[in-house]
Every structure is written in structure tokens, then in C-alpha cells.
């Protein structure tokens, strides 16, 4: 482990401390102190004892650990969802990926890893202070030398729906993590190659609905698919084998849809919408073939 790298110390109760290794500096806790110089130059994966006897396990943080402990500007995409995005939005080595907003740069790190040395990630962020946090986090995680940028990454300040068309860039995959992803559907349709994937990460059901209906109304995408993932830890000790007591209840919903070739439309739906789905109370984007049904036609 070298000076300037991040290290993660875990105590016997599972409490974690992450910090940057700085020669001459000391780490303090209620279990005493540890000199950074004791850690610098060693291979990770060892136990260190603090000055008053507390023991810590020492490793470099994994990406999944780094993103939940790094400095944040905006909320991050959690590792379980980043994994889903990489798999279900089919982020492949060599892909050209557009993402917005960059927020704290958590998802950016997963995307950069997945596209590999021949791919490209173009990140758009409308807020300068968040872009700065993201740049620092990405540089820190990949160990980018000071004054340089990750060779496969470009970060542009601005609204995606304005800045991307201005550049005229095309892409294979687009990931939207923002408050109003439906505002970017036209820009996504123009930028994505046929067969490309549009993926949105949205926190609420109202966002989910509006985004999916906007994609449907656009008409240049396949039927959008929505899902969420729930992850539960298990406690396994002798005969005590049970689910853990705590779990992250909700992070966000994911939606994907594939871009059709220019001028193409998805096949006409043979199944009618659920009764009342687009009834008088529905005020969102309305697919052309959605019937307006009277209230009394709504059934369970």
C-alpha cells in the first residue's frame, strides 16, 4: 500500500474507517492510534494493533466499499444497483456510454471499469460543485496522477439534453440518474445507435411512471421494462441460519428500453391496458392507442 492510496480498517465489531495514507500522519480511534507509516509499504490483508490494544483488519477498499464511504455531493447509485445497471444495460468492454448526472461519480467508476481500456464514458453534470466532487472521487479511486484525467472518461458541465446534442456524439448505452429523466428521452433517441440501451435509475413511483410513459409516447424504443432489486444478508453460524435483521429497504427502480432503428415502431400491443390505467384521473404522457375509460369501468 502506497502513500496517497485509501485504506479501510475494520474493527472486531465490523465498524469501518476509511482514510488516505499520508506519511507522518496518525489515525486515532477509541482504541488508540496507528501511525500511517506502519501501514505504508505493506501488502494489504493483515491485522494491525492500535496503541491501546484494539485490533483492525487492513485492506484497500473495494469499489463497492469505496462508493459508500467516499465524499458525496449528491446521493450515489448503490453497489447492488450499479451491478444491475452493468449487467442489464449490458455495459460491455469497448462500449461508448453516456451518463447523466454524474453526481458523486459512484456509477461512473463502475461504468469505467466495465467499458475497459477501449471504451469511453461521457458524463454530463449540470452542477459544477458536484462535477468537482465526482472528479476527485474518480481520480482517487483509479489513482489518476494529479493534473490528469482518467484516459477513458470525459466529464462535461451542462444539461445532458442540451450539451449532448450540441456535441453530436453517438453512443451504445445511456444511463440517466436524475430527477427528470423524461426530459432527456429525445436526446437519448437521437444519440443512441439502433439496438442501443436507454436505462434510467429513479427513486419514486411517480418518476418511474412518467419516464416509462414518455418512452412509450416517443415510439422509437421497445416496450420499457421496470424492476427493482432487494438484497438481504444472511447470518450463518452453526445451527443459527437466518436472514439478517437489517436490509436496505428501497434504493431506486430501474428501467431499460432498446432503441429501434430510425423510423421503426414497436409491434402494436395485442393486450389492452388494465382497466382505468389511462382513465380520467391519469394526467401523464398518453400513448396514442391508450383508451380513456370512464371511472365506472375501473375494476380490480
Ligand X SMILES: C[S@@+](CC[C@H](N)C(=O)[O-])C[C@H]1O[C@@H](n2cnc3c(N)ncnc32)[C@H](O)[C@@H]1O
Q: Which residues are near ligand X by CB under 6 A?
A: 74-77, 100-101, 103-107, 124-127, 130, 159-161, 177-179, 184
Q: How far is the CB of 12 from ligand X (least distance, A)?
A: 31
Q: CA geometry: angle at 91 spanning 85 and 93, to 5°?
A: 150
Min dist CB 172 to ligand X, Å, is 18
Nearest to 72 by CA among 130, 155, 154: 130
How far is residue 131's CA from residue 135's CA, in Å, rounded to a whole number? Answer: 6
Q: Which is nearer to ligand X, 133 or 290 (CB)?
A: 133
Residue closer to ligand X by CB (options 5, 183) is 183
Sign of the C-alpha dihedral computed for residues 80, 82, 85 and 91 taken in this order = negative
What is the dihedral sign for C-alpha 31, 64, 231, 208? Answer: positive
| 17 grid coordinates | 474507517
Closer by beta carbon to ligand X, 39 or else 91: 91
Helix (H) or strand (E) holding 217: helix 205-218
Q: Cis peptide before 101, with omega less than 30 degrees from 0?
A: yes
In angstroms, give the least distance from the CB of 52 to ligand X: 37
Output 9 or 108, the one with its CB closest to ligand X. Answer: 108
The dihedrals phi and psi of 96, each to the nearest 5 degrees, come to -100, 115
* Nearer to ligand X among residue 16 and residue 126 (C-beta): 126
Distance spanning both ends of the chain, measured CA to CA: 61
Looking at the Cβ atoms of 21 and 85, the one nearer to ligand X is 85
d(CA 253, CA 85): 11
74 or 260, CB closer to ligand X? 74
Closest contact distance (angstroms) between CB of 247 and ligand X is: 20
The DSSP symbol for 24 reads T
The CB-of-197 to ligand X minimum distance in angstroms stands at: 16
CA neighbor of 107 nearest in space, from 61, 68, 157, 145: 68
Q: Nearest approach, Cβ of 161 to ligand X (angstroms)?
A: 6
Give the number of other CB atoms < 10 A from CB of residue 181.
Answer: 27
Grid cell for residue 55: 485490533
Amino acid at each position: 500500500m502506497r502513500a496517497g492510496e485509501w485504506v479501510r480498517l475494520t474493527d472486531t465489531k465490523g465498524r469501518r474507517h476509511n482514510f488516505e495514507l499520508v506519511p507522518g500522519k496518525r489515525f486515532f480511534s477509541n482504541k488508540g492510534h496507528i501511525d500511517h507509516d506502519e501501514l505504508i509499504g505493506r501488502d494489504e490483508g493483515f491485522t494491525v494493533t492500535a496503541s491501546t490494544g484494539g485490533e483492525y483488519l487492513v485492506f484497500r477498499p473495494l469499489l463497492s466499499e469505496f462508493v459508500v464511504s467516499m465524499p458525496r455531493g449528491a446521493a450515489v447509485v448503490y453497489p447492488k444497483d450499479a451491478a444491475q445497471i452493468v449487467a442489464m444495460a449490458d455495459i460491455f468492454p469497448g462500449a461508448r456510454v453516456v451518463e447523466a448526472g454524474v453526481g458523486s461519480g459512484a456509477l461512473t467508476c463502475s461504468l469505467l471499469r466495465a467499458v475497459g481500456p477501449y471504451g469511453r464514458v461521457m458524463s454530463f453534470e449540470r452542477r459544477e460543485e458536484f462535477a468537482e466532487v465526482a472528479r476527485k472521487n474518480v481520480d482517487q479511486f483509479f489513482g489518476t496522477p494529479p493534473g490528469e484525467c482518467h484516459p477513458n472518461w470525459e466529464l462535461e458541465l451542462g444539461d445532458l439534453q442540451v450539451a449532448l446534442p450540441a456535441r453530436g456524439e453517438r453512443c451504445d448505452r445511456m444511463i440517466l440518474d436524475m430527477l427528470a429523466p423524461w426530459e432527456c428521452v429525445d436526446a437519448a433517441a437521437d444519440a443512441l445507435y439502433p439496438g442501443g440501451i436507454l436505462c434510467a435509475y429513479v427513486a419514486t413511483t411517480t418518476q418511474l411512471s412518467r419516464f416509462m410513459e414518455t418512452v412509450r409516447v416517443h415510439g422509437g424504443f421497445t416496450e420499457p421494462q421496470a424492476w427493482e432489486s432487494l438484497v438481504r444478508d444472511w447470518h450463518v453460524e452453526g445451527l443459527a441460519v437466518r436472514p439478517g435483521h437489517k436490509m436496505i429497504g428501497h434504493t431506486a427502480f430501474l428501467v431499460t428500453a432498446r432503441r429501434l432503428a430510425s423510423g421503426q415502431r414497436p409491434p402494436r400491443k395485442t393486450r389492452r391496458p388494465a382497466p382505468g390505467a389511462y382513465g380520467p384521473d391519469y394526467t401523464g404522457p398518453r400513448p396514442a392507442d391508450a383508451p380513456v375509460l370512464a371511472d365506472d369501468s375501473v375494476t380490480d
